[in-house]
Chain A
Amino acid sequence: MMRRTRWSPTLALLAGSLVAAFGGGAPVTWGADAQTTLRMTWYSDGNEGEVIADLLKRFEESNKDIHVALDQVPFKAINETLPVQLASGQGPDIARVGDMGGLARYMLDLRPYLKDAAYWEANYGPFLQWMRVPGDTTSIPGFMTQLTITGPFVNKTLFEQAGVTMPGAKATWEDWASATKEVAAKVQVPFPIAFDRSGHRFFGLAISQGATVFNPKGEPAVVDDGFRRAAQLIYDWHNGGVMSKELWGVVAGAAYRGANEEFKNAQVVMYESGSWQIGQFDKTIGTDFDWVAVPTPCGPANCSGMPGGAALVGIKSTKHPAEVARVLDYLASEDVVAEFYARSLFVPGHIGLARRGLDYKGASPAAKAALKVFSDSVAQLAPAANQLQGYPASRVIFNAVISRIGQAVSGEIALDEAYKRIASDVAQQIAERGK
């Protein structure tokens, strides 16, 4: 028997496709129930992609008129592709960003659409300045999905195997360098200290050595005595076998290079990274060896690390600012954001929660202890560290430093030449921005 074609579903599908194809980001309407689709660009350091997807599903269940399409992308795409998208006006409605100052001009001021702007000011206030363009002191572009602090992770098992005592609180960087080198030599691991190839990690060390980064007028004055001391330490550690050139020396430009894999494989004695690693170390290292987060080592100036983090922000070019604000209002609400931080094992970027303390229910004792160490180190942050993080062109400084110190480490240029190049790179790029 010949099958009869049923045309009505086919035509409906065709009509739907046409609406989707030509409607772009416009709301898709199915009968009486109008639904707005918002695009959210997201990257993950650990499991937070799963957590946010879960939270958004819950949001959609009670807000049937909004659908959030979650586009999960690598961190590189957030830094390199998203800015071009935003510059061309083709960006998403919501994005998770790390370079807050650099992208501030594309961010939506949520204030007119928020249920309670005072709640945002009270709990996210200190970090909002990181997301604002210079001169703006009032806008609310988004909230911190995580507050990160740089700091060291130590493979305690290697110290025990080597029979070396771990330096205590307030130990200096030099104390750690000699201790880790001794451990590495005894247990035959290739990395006594590994620093991520990252500007944040370098300035954690540099500020402890007394780097102030800015002159009294607030303009970048990157290379000072503190900076030179830190650069010299990095340089000497590479030449003295404390650090391996495999991280800082092997790539060109501002490329990020982490040592997560090496740390997880027990090849690193001390790993200077950041609090966002806790979740993945808790999951991947498990019981293979004992690891601990230790307070940031001290320099002659202080024991400061560098703050950082990622914010979830609304994008100015959205056609649905009210809906964007509804989604962000939900995700930034105290209960929801507490669940997000707790499940992702992140240091809260929410003042109220930070004061009260979070219960990281699913975390192992090692992860809980590490979170405590990083949370406590927030109080140790030097003013220069906060100023640098809030500076809109901070990545210009970070990129110049990584690129040039990397060249010095690989033996391509001398340190003095690197200092000159850092100063000229920063000046050239900031002048270009000013055009």
Chain B
Amino acid sequence: MTNASSEEQSTVVGSALHLPVLGRLGGTVLDIVVGGLARLVDVPMRTLQRLIGERRMAYVFLLPNFAFFSLFVFAPLVINVVFSVTGGEALFLSDRPYVGAGQYRYLFDCGSYLDPASCREDHFWRGVANTLRFTAFQLVAMVAFSLTTAVVLNMRIRARGFFRAVYFFPVLLSPVVVALVWKWILQRDGLLNAGLTTLGGHKILYFVDPGWAMFWSVFVSVWAHMGFYTLILLAGLQAIPADLYEAAQMDATPRWRVFRRITLPLLWPSLVVVIVLALIRGVQTFDEVFVLTGGGPGTSTLMIVQYIYETAFASQVQNFGLAAAASVALGVVLFVLTLLQLAATRRRSAS
């Protein structure tokens, strides 16, 4: 190190600077700075450890991150709950009157929870019903397509790398871009209708028919995100030991049986991750569907998050209290869903 320094000095004096020397010089300076800082922190940390004990030091290290989470996650959560028991259109809490459970009473005032039309705030319940429908369809389609794709991409096929990249590419796009591209394809004079009319068919108004609108919402969502889930499953497939398949091959086990008895059970942890993530994504869906269908026709693709956004921001009387109450309700549903999901996973793992 000392020798190198003398070399560096002579080079610098000669004013012929070149990068390796600069790099080493920078490294040395960095070593000194970091080392100095470490020594500076070391003394108080050792003292603290002596005072509170080694095991409690873990909490000290967790504290900065916890403070960060509290500020940006827990505090907004609490503020949201407080907003949900207030009314009016003011933004600052100090200007908002306390209304108790008024917003919740309004949201949950229903003749029958299975019939949104019987509810006082029918848009909220239509959003709930649509979100559940969308999530169910999307979950099934996402798991089926990403699993099939992962299994195929795990085989020794030609241009495997190319296909993996192609399937992953849509994940890199912004949801708004994805929705706009598909909107251009699906609109009255879009690519799809141009193709249909060229083949002698009639134009289909995809965004006017509720069934088609929901179908394309699910399709676009699966198209855009399938690559991500495929990647998770592909990693899971590659982690399955090859000798298990070799043994099955030697026993002349049929392919379907191999898939059922070896692939699926060993892939289960990855599948659970995919199911949980797809479920959460389904419930959170907003941007893609909002840009693609605007929640229509009527309210047939209005998702719960769009309802919350419009109640809080798009209406003239910005009803932050009602939107906050709907957010809390959504949070509770998500929490319950997650608990159910976890319970199911544990039971499966135990069995």
Residues of A that sit less than 8 Å from B by CB: 2, 79-81, 83-84, 87-88, 99, 102, 190, 245-246, 249-255, 257, 393, 395-396, 399, 403, 406-407, 409-413, 417, 421, 424, 428-430, 432-433, 435
Contacts and interface: CB of A to CB of B under 8 A. Distances in A.
Nearest to A411: B298
A190 B205 CA distance: 12
A249 B208 contact: yes
Given A84-B91, A246-B188, A406 B298 contact: yes
Contacts of A257: 294
Nearest to B302: A252
Nearest to A1: B15
Given A406-B296, A435-B87, A80 B317 contact: no
B314 A252 contact: no
B117 A413 contact: yes
Contacts of B91: 84, 87-88
B318 interface: yes
Contacts of A83: 318
Given A250-B294, A412-B298, 9 more contacts: A84-B313, A88-B92, A102-B316, A245-B208, A249-B298, A252-B302, A403-B123, A407-B299, A432-B87
B122 interface: yes
B298 A255 contact: no
Interface of B: 15, 87-92, 97, 99, 106, 117, 120, 122-123, 188, 205, 207-208, 210, 293-302, 306, 310, 313-319, 321-322
Contacts of B317: 393, 396, 429-430, 432-433
B36 to A, nearest CB: 26
Given A190-B188, A251-B296, A254-B315, A433 B89 contact: yes
B87 A249 contact: no
A389 B296 CA distance: 28
Please indicate which of the listed interface residues A87, A407, A429, A432 has the most CB atoms of chain B within 10 Å of its own CB: A432
A435 B88 contact: yes
A410 B97 contact: no
A432 B208 contact: no
Contacts of B310: 253-254
Contacts of A249: 208, 296-298
Contacts of B120: 424
Contacts of B205: 245-246
Please indicate which of the listed interface residues B296, B299, B306 has the most CB atoms of chain A within 10 Å of its own CB: B296
B293 A432 contact: no
B89 A245 contact: no
